[in-house]
């Protein structure tokens, strides 16, 4: 029976590695200066955040967001922000000066317990 569980674990690792991460593929949370920089027509460059943020605005729930993101309320508006488990996941496509934080201290529109990559405020 131990051999079965070892094989199952190896298969799960192989499957997850071959599938990739939709949020990475879609560049959700990436730094941007214009919509074209987001490389995904579902996303817009949210320039109200420092360094820009490839996401979406005006969501009403998680179903409105691309895979790998959830609908959160930030500064009085709703946005699709990338989900994460740690900060490194948030910053593959961001510079050190504009790093996002992986935060559980967010207002989730649809409830849940996921963390999200929260971009720095623009300071304006």
pLDDT at 40: 83
Mean of all residue pLDDT scores within the chain: 83
Judge whether residue 120 has pLDDT over 50.
yes
Number of domains composing the chain: 1
Distance CA 27, CA 52 (A): 12
Is residue 4 situated within a structural domain?
Answer: no
Is residue 69 situated within a structural domain?
Answer: yes
Is residue 83 situated within a structural domain?
Answer: yes
Distance CA 29, CA 18 (A): 22
Is residue 36 situated within a structural domain?
Answer: yes
Query: In three state form, how does the secondary structure of the chain look?
Result: CHHHHHHHHHHHHHHHHHHCCHHHHHCCCCCCCCHHHHCCCCCEECCCECCCCEEEECCCCHHHCCCCEEEEEECCEEEEEEEECCHHHHCCCCCHHHCCEEECCCEECCCCCCEEEECCECCC
Is residue 123 situated within a structural domain?
Answer: no
Q: 83, 102 in Cβ contact below 8 A?
A: no
Is residue 6 situated within a structural domain?
Answer: no
Q: 72, 61 in Cβ contact below 8 A?
A: no
Is residue 13 situated within a structural domain?
Answer: no
pLDDT of 88-111, one tens digit each? 999 999 999 999 999 999 999 999
Residue percentage of the chain with pLDDT more than 90: 67
Is residue 74 situated within a structural domain?
Answer: yes
pLDDT of 45-63, one tens digit each? 999 999 999 999 999 999 9
Domain range enclosing 96: 22-118
Single pTM value for the model = 0.77
Q: Looking at per-residue confidence, does 122 or 7 come out higher?
A: 122
């Amino acid at each position: 029976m131990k051999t079965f569980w070892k094989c199952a674990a190896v298969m799960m690792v192989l499957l997850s590695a071959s599938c990739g991460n939709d949020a990475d593929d879609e560049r959700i949370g990436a730094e941007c200066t214009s919509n074209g920089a987001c490389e995904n027509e579902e996303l817009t460059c949210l320039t109200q955040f420092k360094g820009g943020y490839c996401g979406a605005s005006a969501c009403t729930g998680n179903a409105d967001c691309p895979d790998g993101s959830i609908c959160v309320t930030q500064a009085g508006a709703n946005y699709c922000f990338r989900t994460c488990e740690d900060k490194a996941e948030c910053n593959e496509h961001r510079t050190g000066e504009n790093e996002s934080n992986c935060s559980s201290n967010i207002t989730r529109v649809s409830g849940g317990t996921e963390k999200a990559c929260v971009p720095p405020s623009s300071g304006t």
